[in-house]
Amino acid sequence: MVKKQTAGRQQLGDLAPQFAALNDDVLFGEVWAKTDELSARDRSLITCAALIAQGLFPQLKAHLKMAQANGVTQTEIVALVTQLAFYTGWPKAWSAFDLVKQTYGQA
């Protein structure tokens, strides 16, 4: 089961309450919670790949922590980043590896 998400309300609740509610209730409350189609672990791998591909490293940092909590191993995330390096760009992989090291205690 996916942990109840409150980051939207905590960070944007006063500024953008509708966006915060969509983030917490729809994205995480409905889509991420639908584990009969994809596990939280698989969703984490997919999300990390998409964020790396776009170079969205502030969001990647949070999602790497979530991936680790969802059972994605360091070996698996290293393989993911290595694979993506050839498709999304070498500099993005370097940047992602810095966050992987921080998340998995290698920094």
pLDDT on residue 1: 53
> Once rounded to an integer, what is the mean pLDDT over residues 88-99?
98
Q: Are residues 27 and 69 in the same domain?
A: no
Q: Are residues 15 and 54 in the same domain?
A: no
**Confidence (pTM):** 0.89
Q: Which amino acid is at 14?
A: D
Distance CA(91)–CA(98), nearest Å, equals 11
Lowest mean pLDDT: which of 9-13, 92-96, 99-103? 9-13
CATH (domain of 101): 1.20.1290.10
Total domains present in the chain: 2
Q: Are residues 43 and 89 in the same domain?
A: yes
User: What range defines the domain where residue 8 resides?
Assistant: 1-37
Q: Are residues 26 and 55 in the same domain?
A: no
CA-CA-CA-CA torsion sign (89, 78, 58, 9): positive
Give percent above pLDDT 70 in the chain. Answer: 96
Q: Are residues 54 and 9 in the same domain?
A: no
> Widest CA span of the chain, in angstroms?
41
> Once rounded to an integer, what is the mean pLDDT over residues 16-30?
93
Determine if residue 4 is left, alpha or beta; phi over 0 gives left, psi from -120 to 50 gives alpha, anything else beta: beta
> Once rounded to an integer, what is the mean pLDDT over residues 73-86?
98
